[in-house]
Amino acid sequence: MKHEMQILQEAARRFGPLCVGLDTDPSYIPQNILKGFRSPAEAVLAYNKAILERVVRDGSACCFKIQAAYYEAMGLQGMDVFAQTVRAVRDAGFVAISDVKRGDIAASAQAYARAHFSGDFETDIITVNPYMGFDTLEPFTQMCVAQKKGVFVLLRTSNPGAADIEQKDLAQGGRVLDCVGAELNRIVEKTQSDFPEQTCSCVGAVVGCTHKDDAEFLRKAYPKIFFLIPGYGAQGGDAEICATLLREAGGVVNSSRGILCAYKKDSSLSEKLASDSLTMEDIAESAARAAVASKKDLARFV
């Protein structure tokens, strides 16, 4: 039986590497649509489902990422919408990546792993943070092996402030990200040995496409690691940098706002936007067009 990272790698090769981020803030939804729902959370769920269903129809995405913070900010109802969104992605036959960036001491990490690999919030793959120490990763990787799930470990993130920690030089030589990468490489080799018939480990890395200088180095340094690549589109990352990171084991390229808010820059909808007459169908169609355009953009170099 395949683990979820293997399934994702195969989906990326079949459909292309685009990952659509359902990182939906209620402020993204036009007011004329928002006021038709009983709550912002209810509107977000309808927004997510409309975009999911329309993007899936075109076959332009290989997976969907759901950023938990947007849903946590909406309270209990928001977390229910988070669970329903993850479930909708999985029910559609796609890999769901829950972007939760968990990282804590062993007992707490075990609880986080149970929370996202079983029960109400069960997903396929999660993101985790290694900066409390590498022992904090063990509960996640152990459960991935046991339940055939997946984790992406933060390595080189897309935000400008990443350099404050990830690029810091160490007394023993190298940078913080080199230290994390070396340990991650060891974990990947160990976990891949648990699935010798599969072409990638159940453990991958988060590597942003906003750092051109690091892209070539990181792909050469870690050829066997499957990457989750944020930063494409709204954050300034481009397809050429993505192409470098997509070599070897490959990866998926996330785009969130560029697709969720595509209607704001869609000239065909300018009159409706100005007159507050946009429909959910208009937004979903615009998102689908943006996803197709992103897929084509990435294909120019891949």
Q: Hey, which residues are catalytic here?
A: 101
| Burial call 108-140: b when 16+ CB within 10 Å, e when fewer | ebbebbebbbeeebbbbbbbbbbeeebebbebb
Q: Count other Cβ atoms within 10 Å, centred on residue 238.
A: 16
Distance CA 77, CA 62 (A): 28
- Give the tokens for residue 113: 């792993």
Q: Of how many residues is the chain composed?
A: 302
Contact between 212 and 241 under an 8 Å Cβ cutoff? The reply is: yes
Could you give the count of Cα atoms lying within 13 Å of 166 in the half-sphere of its Cβ? 20
Could you give the count of Cα atoms lying within 13 Å of 64 in the half-sphere of its Cβ? 30
Which residue is listed with tokens 């940098």?
241
Could you give the count of Cα atoms lying within 13 Å of 263 in the half-sphere of its Cβ? 23
Distance CA 181, CA 16 (A): 26
Distance CA 34, CA 88 (A): 21
Closest CA to 150 of 209, 96, 222: 96
Beta bridge partners of 65: 21, 97
Closest CA to 125 of 68, 202, 193, 189: 202
